[in-house]
Amino acid sequence: MTAAPIGLRTGLRLGRSLNRTNNVSIVLGASQRAYASFRPLHHAGPRRSDWASSSRKRSFSRSSHAPNATKDETRPPLLQLRNAWLRSVWAAQPDTSHSGTGGALDWTIRDRAKQECWAIIGPASERGGRARREVVDVSPHNLPRARSGSTTTETSLIFGGPASVFHHCSDQVILGRSRPKQASSKGGDDLTAICQQIHGRPYHPNVHPFLSDRMSGTAGELRRTPHDAIKHVSFATQIGGTGGEFVNYSARYGAIREQDRVTLYERLMDLLGVPVGLVAAQKMLPDPFAASTGTAGDAVGLFKWSSEQARQTANERALEADAVVRQMAPLLLIDDHLLHRPVIALSNGQTRRARILSSLVSGAELVVLEEPYSGIDAGTRQKLSQLFARLHAERRPRFVLVLREQDEVPDFITHLLRLDESGAISHLGERKSDDSNQATALSHDAKSEAAPRNLPARADPYDLLLRNAAEDVGRGDERQPPIISMNDVSVAYGNTKVLDSINLRIWPGDRIVLAGDNGSGKTTLLALILGDHPRSFSFPRDQLSLFGMARDEPLNARPLLGQRIGHLSPELFNAFPRKSAERGGLTVGEVIASGYGNVFARRSYSEAQKQRVWALLSRFAHLVKSSDGRTIMEDAVQADRGGAPDLADVRAVSSRGFTELSHGSQAVVLFLRALVGRPRLLVLDEPFQGMDAKQVETIRRFLDDSTARSVAPDRWAIGETAEEKAADTEARQQMAIVLVSHYESEWPTRFGRLIRLKGGLVEERV
């Protein structure tokens, strides 16, 4: 749930490399003071509706193009694909208005506001995900080439720039990105640079017909590039670098470095072409909000205006940009406090909203939102849906949503492109009346967070938890010393209180759901429990005790704590080192074994530890799939004996390279890593992200069966003898578990405690 830097990928400009000098500090101080006293809200900036019409007057504005100028029927389509060939999308079933055969896709997205809004739905599996990405990012290579002398509309690519150079780039031109995404080979940086120089020019009117008038317009301000007009905001799980290094995801809890203090407001202003505050300082530009010194010094110098008039002009532009930011931010539930918070400090959900805001502020005309609801709390999911529906209906901008198959489809979606596990298009066209696909989930009571994800229907998870609590199921053993104890613990950043007087005990055997809206303090609380938060060192033992000791006790040193706590979170998933096995990366078995001591590298392990890794893996190996979606164990079983898995099968899975696995399988392996050392506390923060329904169900069943007073016989016990198995069962029942999930439907059925946070306070306690 930690924040990631705001979406530079969505078009925010990268600042110049930081060059801190004494001068910068002086100017920065001045600009911050000036800005602190600056209250641009009183300024009568254009209303959002005026904003579009006044866009041509304003040099920074990139707002939508005259929204209602054309009738729906005559509007050029937003997307028109003819005979596009997609490698991963191997089959398609035509319907009346859209068709595809084999890998060749015909698909039109018309600009019909309320009547047509598309979602692309694909499974989270590696193969399904690849097909999904290909549909969003059709590459020029996939479109048929122009036939010489042909007049047919199948002429698919028209390059305004040097096509040959462009052709070599792995450029994506269709729905999502309109600029080179990555350079695939050595020397790619050069290619990328060349492509970036020309990226505005190549475009294909048949693919994005709605851009035609912009491109042919003679007035300078009409000549918008696809890059300006189409934004791709991706929240899909990003797997970290392949260099094998571990990324320190807990850095945000500590003192934020000066250069990382850039606020959301400063990022957004920069996006509108108005660097202010720290961004201005980093770019070594004068700050338009800085008070004029009125001295001759204004005429010269790196951080000075050339004249008083230049300063005034810049100030006026800055005020206009400020008005735009402040009008749009509340739509995304971003208030003044959040606007002025360092981007790095935003919570996961806040970061996602900020990235959507950046695409809106930039004036994009078509925004492709990938997995916009994951990591977002139920209430906000509902509000976001209402916002998207309203904006799409008004074409400010138009949206295309990319969803996983387990996501709910919001009501305003009228058309679907649905891909199945194998990459086949199972539906392309209007949403069928019976194709509700959990759409009603968004209209559920927000507090219940009930948003089913293709999981079997069952009793209301919240009611189930209350019943468990009443029957003492999922409740820890309070006769034993608590594992974690917090008394009146508060955490504040400056004046912002993030946790407020928290009192909490976690007992052996507890099964706790930690709930709360985005920004309510869950990650911060977990960071204290995990001992990752620097503040955890400052509390005396009677305020914060981890395993009966203060955090700074030698017995709570990081490696020792790592042996007692198993942990999985989206941040750990993203940060885990990934290097291919050929380059010395970890195998599946080595990743699981790295859970002993919670390290992120290969170590040597005892024979007993290896045996446990294999024994644990044997229970879950059937869930481990390679990146092409094939179950490794099944392959082995089918090819060899067709029988139950034996040690050879398990070893085959264990020796596979971790990076060879699908996303969901990597998450399963990291779950086993968290378990392997028989931790006394298991912290599972959104553990199911990226897993398919079968993987989620199996892990949930494992958690349920590991709860004391389980009704099911323990089929997960590990050991040779009955005594060993009993000891293993006992250890799992004694393990306390804290789970965070924004989806109630993912809660295991035998949890018996709930802590719900709101604004840093405990709002509900079961």
Ligand X SMILES: Nc1ncnc2c1ncn2[C@@H]1O[C@H](COP(=O)(O)OP(=O)(O)OP(=O)(O)O)[C@@H](O)[C@H]1O
Q: How far is the CB of 529 from ligand X (least distance, A)?
A: 12
Instruction: Provide the mask over 242-271, with x wherever binding to ligand X is found by CB under 6 A and - wherever it is not.
Output: ----------x---x---------------
Query: Any idea what DSSP says for residue 234?
Result: E
Q: How far is the CB of 525 from ligand X (least distance, A)?
A: 7
Q: Which of 77, 122, 129, 349 binds ligand X (CB under 6 A)?
A: 349
Q: How far is the CB of 521 from ligand X (least distance, A)?
A: 5
Q: Which of 103, 288, 519, 687 binds ligand X (CB under 6 A)?
A: 519
Token pair, residue 344, equals: 């790095």
Q: Which of 493, 600, 605, 702 binds ligand X (CB under 6 A)?
A: 493
Q: How far apart are CA 643 and CA 321, in angstroms?
A: 67
Q: Crossing angle of helices 607-620/663-676, nearest 10°?
A: 140
Q: How many CB atoms lie within 10 A of CB 638?
A: 10
Q: How far is the CB of 399 from ligand X (least distance, A)?
A: 22
Question: DSSP for 737-753?
Answer: EEEE-S-GGGS-TT--E
Closest CB to ligand X among 30 and 344? 344
Only segment of 216-224, 416-424, 522-530, 560-568 that touches ligand X (CB under 6 A):
522-530
Q: How far is the CB of 252 from ligand X (least distance, A)?
A: 6
Only segment of 147-155, 438-446, 520-528, 584-592 that touches ligand X (CB under 6 A):
520-528
Only segment of 159-167, 271-279, 491-499, 546-554 that touches ligand X (CB under 6 A):
491-499
Q: How far is the CB of 375 from ligand X (least distance, A)?
A: 6
Q: Which of 139, 327, 518, 631 binds ligand X (CB under 6 A)?
A: 518
Which distant-in-sequence residues (6+ apart) come within 8 Å of 439 by Cβ? 408, 409, 410, 411, 413
Give 509's strand partners.
none
Closest CB to ligand X among 142 and 523? 523
Tell which positions 496-515 bind ligand X, by CB under 6 A: 496, 498
**What is the end-to-end Cα distance of the chain in Å, rounded?**
23
User: Do β-strands 511-516 and 681-685 pair in parallel, antiparallel, or remain unpaired?
Assistant: unpaired
Cβ–Cβ < 8 Å for 156, 207: yes
Work out whether 756 is an interface residue with ligand X (CB under 6 A): no
Cβ–Cβ < 8 Å for 463, 450: no
Helix (H, G, I), strand (E, B) or coil at 721: coil
Closest CB to ligand X among 209 and 349? 349
Instruction: Give whole-number Cα distances, 723 to 211, 464, 676, 718, 726, in Å.
Output: 71, 33, 19, 10, 5
Instruction: Provide the mask over 319-348, with x wherever binding to ligand X is found by CB under 6 A and - wherever it is not.
Output: ----------------------x---xxxx
HSE toward the beta carbon, residue 254, CA cutoff 13 A: 10
Helix (H, G, I), strand (E, B) or coil at 12: coil
Q: How far is the CB of 741 from ligand X (least distance, A)?
A: 10
Closest CB to ligand X among 653 and 757? 757
- Phi first, then psi: what are they for 759, rounded to 5°? 55, 35
Using alpha carbons only, how large is the chain's radius of gyration in Å? 27
Cβ–Cβ < 8 Å for 448, 378: yes
Q: Which of 129, 200, 516, 748 binds ligand X (CB under 6 A)?
A: 516
Tell which positions 714-753 bind ligand X, by CB under 6 A: none
Only segment of 219-227, 521-529, 533-541, 607-615 that touches ligand X (CB under 6 A):
521-529
Closest CB to ligand X among 10 and 523? 523
Helix (H, G, I), strand (E, B) or coil at 682: strand
Number of residues that bind ligand X (CB under 6 A): 21
Prior bond of 397 cis (ω within 30°):
yes
Tell which positions 449-468 bind ligand X, by CB under 6 A: none
Binding site for ligand X (CB under 6 A): 1, 252, 256, 341, 345-350, 493, 496, 498, 516, 518-524
